[in-house]
Structure 1
Amino acid sequence: MPSALSPAPTAVVRAVADALSAAVVLYRRGAIELRHPIELVRTAREATALGPVATTLAHATRGASSAVALIDDRGPITFEQLDQASNRLANGLAAQAITAGTVLGALCRDHRGFVLTMLAAGKLGARIVLLDTGISGPRLTATLEREQIDMLLADAEFVDRFDELPAQMPIVLTRAGATNRRGLPTIHGIAAWRSALPLPVPVDPGGIVILAEGAETPKGAPSGKVSPLQSAQFLDRIPLPKANTIVLAAPLSHGIGLSQLILGWALGNTVVVLADRFDARRTLAAVARHHASALVLVPTMLRQIVDLGPTVLAEYDTSTLTVIFSAGSALPPDLSRRTALHFGDALYHLYTCADVTVAAVATPQDLREAPGTVGRPPVGCRVAVYDEQRRRITTPGVVGTLFVAGGLSFLGFTDGTDKEVVDGMHSSGDLGHFDDAGRLFIDGPDDAMIGEPLPAPAHSE
């Protein structure tokens, strides 16, 4: 009989099987090289202390230091240059009394200053809270207080929101713009003349907090230690490119954008970020200019692109695109159909829970054969449907509450609340059902009747 302090045998077997399956996926996709076991061990060890962003940069720098890691509106920067610049910033912040116990807030658009801030936080072992650029002054103040943020690093664009902040809140600009009328310190000033040598590795990662939307004051969904094997959840069903170029239209402050920056680097890709508000034409121009193989966005962005129409779309050479990676909200069947008409079988849609938990992936074949589906759970993920008495539903077509578990599982909100847990899985907050082929469908939020079969579809005579 297993000890009360030991995990159940089935859980251990499942964890081992998931790890082996994930390793196979990563090897098949070229994310790991079994010929270099020392590097694998080193990367796994770093992941337990530095967190995913700094760990992936370190791994990529050792593999291809002179390769271009990031392109923003200031141009390209290599992995080695990013590594050294983030070391200087980390040393500069350490001189400002930023330590492993500090909580940083980042209010930034997508540019190298934001990336350097996340890297420096990881190298210091500080927790970093990623703030949505649309957050208002009062909500910003409430969020800073609830998350106990000690220092705010922000773009000068948002300086008007600082008026309502506590006077003692330290503010550092990550992007000063043409003017710095308040004379605030900048990350570049803090990093200037600092050593590019790395600091001692922190004992534990500070963690990244992604704010969950929908609340009056956004709640944080934190991530702690993350295994490199969890990248397999994306690569299992999405053929992201290797040693190529990815355009990120989805913001880095959300889970989808951040995860694909990390995964893009793990595969040796150059990641292109767009610093201003989303613009469909500018995004297509970036894909064409950089001959990108992948585009990462949310469905509302994809709709704006498709709505440009065939004549405008034809102005941009997007023939290099093999993956359009969509996530963050529902993907209407009509949008997937219209996307396929212009881009072919390139659209992959990810369904997540709390912006951090991977649940299911729909491939082009899934979207073609079963419009409206969110696909199937990838390796290492479990999704199940339960009725109101929390009995598992196994009959296809019967709606119930969705519960999800996986390597990127939800860890509870930073305000102390949590999601309901059944059989080790967290509620997604949605209703759903599986079809006969095992594909998952979302039927709405978990506030309606469940446990009843869906009505048969109407057929025209």
Structure 2
Amino acid sequence: MTEPIGDPAGGLTPVSTRVMNLATFLTQAARRDPAGVALVMGETRWTWAEFEARTDALAHALQARFGLEKGDRVMCQSQNCLEMMQAMFAVWRAGGVWVPANFRQTPAEVAWLTEASGARLMLCNASFPDHAAACAGVTHIAFGSADFGPSVQDITAGHMGRKPQVAVVDRDDPCWFFFTSGTTGRPKASVLTHGQMAFVVTNHLADLMPGLTGQDASLVVAPLSHGAGVHQLTQVARGVKTVLLPTERFDVAQVWDLVREWRVSTIFTVPTILKLLVEHPAMATADTSSLRYVIYAGAPMYRVDQQKALRTLGKVLVQYFGLGECTGNITVLPAHLHEAEDGPAVRIGTCGYARTGIEIQIQDDQGRELPAGETGEICVIGPAVFAGYYQNPQANAKAFRDGWFRTGDLGHMDDTGFLYITGRESDMFISGGSNVYPREIEEKVLTHPAISEVAVLGIPDPLWGEVGWAVCVASAPVTEEELTAFLEPRISRYKLPKRFLFWDALPKSAYGKITKKMVRDEIEARGLLEQTPA
């Protein structure tokens, strides 16, 4: 960190690589508006001064009582709560690495994540005693009253007024292990760093939510363990109050009540949840006049759903595309480029253009850049790209090529730089020697008025190699024959699904996303593959 600028080869060596500890965002917000409301959950309110004092107290305890040292990993198993926000900033302030689990995972799954991350402390909500018991060999701290460890509330009270030693961090020091969803194989720990996340926060404020102030309010409708946690870190950076749902039960009417009560201006969600919000009967009396940015990510939004949301909420939708490995920081489609009505100037199906400071290439399987309009793998470089997977050299070797991060998503760019996602590389199937991209078919199926959700998968076929099956959720009676007749003039014959299945609902991940693996598993569980003619 103290080497002089310059070296014999004529390059430059940084004088310093030190950066701000991410927890400083909270300190800055508390200085600007100590008496302002920072966090809301049910009837509980924390001011920015209280949030800061509680974070200091817990960070001091982590260091003085639990011996937390810089770089130590801290597992967190909890549904959304105020103490989870407090703990995240306290861990960073003390120099630890935040390792949140998806709270809907099983005890065995969380035990594996704890072991894989090398965590030595575990923050666990009192409602998950089995998860705590499964994670033997780590020190447990509870959110609430529990037999498995002391409570954060009591620890905080016992250390109020004490200041921790704020950890000195470098740009590449880890701050967060962001586990992948694990749709194929074991989840991998993406290592996010203090410098990277500072860039992401700045970029979110520039590209997604420009002009946020302490007068804004953000409603959390997704788990803080993943994208919503990054979103709330961004809110703290600008002193925006965070409103949490009072329980883990997702109640659409309650969401709209909170939007009205707190004059909510920003919401981060996924397309399936946004669809629920817009189509619920409570929407008829909802007051959405305070909304400025309704940000959706995690999966592309089908055009018909996008149009309905725009007609209902107005031009407040913002889309971004990215992965946990770059914390969403790949493309943005800002509000002014969302249009409800189709027209010659509307780019239907795009997820936007490259985020500030990010470069995108569409590459073939040899890493060569493809021209506009050709489909290939979406690859990116830029300060938002993570440091790599923790202790996983094989995954790192596969994920990076010539410095480019390979997303595993397929797509193409037009000649103006707008990106169109075709689907996951693993979703594509080959039928009769031709590549088939399910998303294109799904978009067409959803234009039928009776279909509200659909997932298209490639299923083994003795004649064609693979054929498409469309698993549909219908809002009105419809038959396979009717859907086939509807699609025949709209897509090439080789892309036409061979079967249409009708289910009451599609399985979704803990983050509200439809994943092809879960749909495929359900097809197998129902024994439908056994009914396929040989």
Scaled by the length of structure 2, the TM-score of the pair is 0.71
User: Matched residues in 1 for 2:420 and 2:8: separation?
Assistant: 39
Say which of 258, 282, 297 aligns to 1:286: 258
Check conservation: 1:247, 1:271, Cα contact below 8 A: yes
Q: Match for residue 360 of structure 1?
A: 331
User: Matched residues in 1 for 2:148 and 2:99: separation?
Assistant: 24
Say which of 113, 118, 121 aligns to 2:83: 113
User: Matched residues in 2 for 1:7 and 1:333: separation?
Assistant: 48
Q: Match for residue 121 of structure 2?
A: 151
Check conservation: 1:233, 1:381, Cα contact below 8 A: no
Cα offset for 1:365?
4.2
Say which of 258, 268, 276 aligns to 1:296: 268
Cα offset for 1:277?
3.5
Cα offset for 1:288?
1.2
User: Matched residues in 1 for 2:144 and 2:420: separation?
Assistant: 42
Check conservation: 1:122, 1:206, Cα contact below 8 A: no
> Is it true that 1:75 corresponds to 2:50 in the alignment?
no
> Is it true that 1:201 corresponds to 2:173 in the alignment?
no
CA RMSD of aligned residues (A): 3.0
SS in 2 for 1:349: strand
1:62-91 deviations in Å (ceiling 9; x for gaps)? 222222211123422111111111111122
The residue correspondences of 1:182-197 to structure 2 (distance < 5 A) are 182=147, 184-197=149-162
Check conservation: 1:152, 1:170, Cα contact below 8 A: yes
Cα offset for 1:270?
0.8
Cα offset for 1:135?
1.2
Say which of 22, 25, 30 aligns to 1:56: 25
The residue correspondences of 1:278-427 to structure 2 (distance < 5 A) are 278-308=250-280, 311-354=281-324, 356-368=327-339, 369-395=346-372, 397-416=373-392, 417-418=395-396, 419-427=398-406
Check conservation: 1:433, 1:442, Cα contact below 8 A: yes
Runs of 4+ displaced beyond 6 Å:
2-5, 449-455, 457-460
Cα offset for 1:449?
8.7
Aligned residues: 412
The residue correspondences of 1:132-281 to structure 2 (distance < 5 A) are 132-166=102-136, 168-176=137-145, 180=146, 182=147, 184-204=149-169, 207-213=175-181, 214-226=183-195, 228-240=198-210, 241-243=212-214, 244-254=216-226, 256-274=227-245, 275-281=247-253
SS in 1 for 2:352: coil
Check conservation: 1:113, 1:175, Cα contact below 8 A: no
Check conservation: 2:319, 2:332, Cα contact below 8 A: yes
Q: CA 1:281/1:5 → structure 2, altered by over 3 Å: closer, same or farther?
A: farther
Cα offset for 1:236?
3.3
Q: CA 1:3/1:379 → structure 2, altered by over 3 Å: closer, same or farther?
A: farther
Check conservation: 1:93, 1:190, Cα contact below 8 A: no
User: Matched residues in 2 for 1:202 and 1:345: separation?
Assistant: 42
Check conservation: 1:106, 1:128, Cα contact below 8 A: yes
SS in 1 for 2:92: helix
Cα offset for 1:420?
3.1
SS in 1 for 2:105: coil
User: Matched residues in 2 for 1:385 and 1:315: separation?
Assistant: 45
Cα offset for 1:375?
0.4
Q: CA 1:364/1:183 → structure 2, altered by over 3 Å: closer, same or farther?
A: closer
Q: Which moved more, 1:296-305 or 1:272-281?
A: 272-281
Check conservation: 2:142, 2:148, Cα contact below 8 A: no
The answer for unaligned runs of 5 or more in structure 1 is: 13-43
Check conservation: 1:142, 1:217, Cα contact below 8 A: no
Cα offset for 1:229?
4.6
Bigger relative contact order, structure 1 or 2 (CA pairs below 8 A, ≥6 apart) = 1
Q: CA 1:75/1:99 → structure 2, altered by over 3 Å: closer, same or farther?
A: same
The answer for unaligned runs of 5 or more in structure 2 is: 1-6, 340-345, 445-488, 492-534
Sequence identity (%) = 21
Q: CA 1:122/1:74 → structure 2, altered by over 3 Å: closer, same or farther?
A: farther
Check conservation: 1:403, 1:428, Cα contact below 8 A: yes
Q: CA 1:143/1:391 → structure 2, altered by over 3 Å: closer, same or farther?
A: same
